[in-house]
C-alpha cells in the first residue's frame, strides 16, 4: 500500500476509535499521585489467556502479544498464516482488560489498560509482564523447540520490557513498538483524550515520565537485554507513533537488526515479507543452551 493509502487507513482507524470509544469515557489519576507500587498479584501458571495456532513438527513457537484497544484477533490472520507456513506455531496472549478479560464495567477492550489513571495503567503493564514471564517459563519447560517473543504496537513495547527480564530469551520481534510514553500521550492523535484527562487533573508529562519509568521501553534498565536477539520492525508511514520516537528508541537500544517498511501502523501486519523477515531472523539466531 502506498504512503497516502497507508496514512488514510491509520487516520480512519484512529478517528473512529477516538470518536466512538475513547471520547466517551474519562479516567483521572488519584490525587495526589500515590507512590509507584510493585505488582502484588499472582500470575496464573495455567496460562488461561492463550489462543493456540499449532503446526505439526514446529521449528519454534512464537509467544505473541497483541496491541492496545483491540477487539479483532482476525487482524493477525495473514501474519500468523505466514509464520505457520514457515514452521512456527503461535501462542497468542490476551492482555489484561482486553477481549475475554475486559471488565464488565468497561465500555471497550483496553479502556482500563491505558488511560489517564496512571496507577492502574502501570499495574496493568506490570501484571502483563508478570503473567508473560510465567507463561514463557511454562512453555519453555514443556517444549523441545525454542520459544520466541513477538508483539505488535503496545504489545511490542511489552515484549521489550520482557526482554529486560528474561535472561534466557531466545529471540524477539518488536513490530511498531511505541516508546517514550509521555511524549506519545502528548503528541499522538490516538492519545488526545488521555492527554486531556491528564491535563484536567493537573498532571504533566514530566510527572508521567517519572511514574512510568519502569514500564517505558525507552527509560527502563536494559542491563539483561540482548539487543542482538531483537528484531525491530518500523513502519515509515505510521501516524500513531512519530518517526523521531522510533529513532530515539532505536538509538537508545542500539538495535543491530531493523527492518523498515513502506507501510502505516496498521497495515504493517499485511506486509507480505513480515513473516519471512521474522522467520529468517529467528532461524539465524544461535540456540541458547538450556539448563537442566
Residue 291 lies in a domain: no
Residue 199 lies in a domain: yes
| Spatial distance between the Cα atoms of 144 and 160, rounded to a whole number of angstroms | 24
Closest CA relative to residue 49, chosen from 92, 88, 89, 97 = 92
Residue 262 lies in a domain: yes
Residue 261 lies in a domain: yes
pLDDT at 283 exceeding the cut of 90: yes
162, containing H or E segment: helix 154-163
Residue 290 lies in a domain: no
Q: Is the dihedral of CA 251, 253, 257, 263 positive or negative?
A: negative
Residue 213 lies in a domain: yes
Residue 289 lies in a domain: no
Question: Model confidence over 54-66: pLDDT tens digits?
Answer: 999 999 999 999 9
Count CB neighbours of 270 within 10 A: 15
Range 184-201 burial, b when 16+ CB lie within 10 A, else e: bbbbbebbbbbbebbeeb
- Per-residue pLDDT, 265: 97
Question: Model confidence over 190-237: pLDDT tens digits?
Answer: 999 999 999 999 999 999 999 999 999 999 999 999 999 999 999 999
- Per-residue pLDDT, 49: 81
Residue 81 lies in a domain: yes
Burial zone of 139 (CB within 10 Å; 0-12 exposed, 13-18 middle, 19+ buried): middle
- Per-residue pLDDT, 287: 78
- Per-residue pLDDT, 98: 95
Question: Structural domain of residue 14, as residue ranges?
Answer: 3-284
Question: Model confidence over 20-47: pLDDT tens digits?
Answer: 999 999 999 988 888 887 776 766 545 5
What is the number of domains present in the chain?
A: 1
Q: What's the whole-number mean pLDDT along residues 248-272?
A: 97
91, containing H or E segment: strand 88-93
- Per-residue pLDDT, 292: 44
- Per-residue pLDDT, 156: 98
Look at 113 and 44; give whichever has higher pLDDT.
113
- Per-residue pLDDT, 1: 73
- Per-residue pLDDT, 254: 97
Q: What's the whole-number mean pLDDT along residues 127-140?
A: 93
pLDDT at 160 exceeding the cut of 80: yes
Name the average pLDDT for the chain.
94
Q: What are residue 124's DSSP bridge partners?
A: none
- Per-residue pLDDT, 44: 59
pLDDT at 158 exceeding the cut of 60: yes
| Spatial distance between the Cα atoms of 160 and 225, rounded to a whole number of angstroms | 8
Task: For 4-56, give the DSSP string.
Answer: HHHHHHHHHHHHHHHHHTGGG------SSPPPP----S---TT-TTEEEE--S
Its pTM stands at: 0.95
**Which residues neighbour 29 within 8 Å (Cβ) at sequence distance 6 or greater?**
116, 117, 118, 119, 198, 201, 203
Q: Could you tell me what percent of the chain has a pLDDT over 90?
A: 88
| Spatial distance between the Cα atoms of 16 and 5, rounded to a whole number of angstroms | 16
- Per-residue pLDDT, 291: 55
Residue 80 sits in a domain whose CATH number is 3.40.50.1820
Amino acid at each position: 500500500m502506498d504512503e497516502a493509502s497507508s496514512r488514510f487507513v491509520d487516520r480512519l482507524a484512529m478517528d473512529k476509535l477516538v470518536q466512538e470509544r475513547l471520547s466517551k469515557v474519562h479516567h483521572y489519576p488519584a490525587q495526589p499521585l500515590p507512590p509507584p507500587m510493585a505488582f502484588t498479584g499472582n500470575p496464573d501458571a495455567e496460562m488461561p489467556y492463550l489462543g493456540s495456532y499449532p503446526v505439526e513438527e514446529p521449528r519454534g513457537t512464537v509467544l505473541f502479544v497483541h496491541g492496545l484497544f483491540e477487539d479483532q484477533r482476525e487482524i493477525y490472520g495473514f501474519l500468523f498464516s505466514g509464520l505457520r507456513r514457515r514452521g512456527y506455531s503461535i501462542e497468542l496472549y490476551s492482555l489484561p482488560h482486553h477481549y475475554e478479560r475486559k471488565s464488565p464495567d468497561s465500555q471497550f477492550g483496553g479502556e482500563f489498560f491505558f488511560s489517564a489513571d496512571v496507577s492502574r495503567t502501570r499495574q496493568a503493564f506490570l501484571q502483563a509482564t508478570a503473567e508473560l514471564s510465567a507463561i514463557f517459563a511454562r512453555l519453555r519447560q514443556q517444549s523441545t523447540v525454542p520459544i520466541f517473543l513477538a508483539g505488535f504496537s503496545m504489545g511490542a513495547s511489552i515484549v521489550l520490557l520482557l526482554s529486560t527480564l528474561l535472561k534466557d530469551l531466545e529471540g524477539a520481534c518488536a513490530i511498531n513498538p511505541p516508546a517514550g510514553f509521555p511524549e506519545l500521550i502528548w503528541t499522538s492523535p490516538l492519545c488526545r483524550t488521555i492527554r486531556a484527562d491528564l491535563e484536567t487533573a493537573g498532571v504533566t508529562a514530566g510527572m508521567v515520565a517519572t511514574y512510568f519509568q519502569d514500564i517505558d521501553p525507552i527509560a527502563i534498565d536494559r542491563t539483561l537485554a540482548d539487543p542482538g536477539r531483537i528484531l525491530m520492525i518500523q513502519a515509515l508511514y505510521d501516524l500513531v507513533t512519530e518517526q523521531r520516537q522510533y529513532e530515539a528508541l532505536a538509538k537508545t537500544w542500539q538495535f543491530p537488526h531493523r527492518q523498515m517498511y513502506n507501510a502505516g501502523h496498521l497495515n504493517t501486519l499485511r506486509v507480505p515479507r513480515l513473516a519471512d523477515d521474522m522467520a529468517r531472523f529467528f532461524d539465524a539466531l544461535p540456540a541458547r543452551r538450556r539448563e537442566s
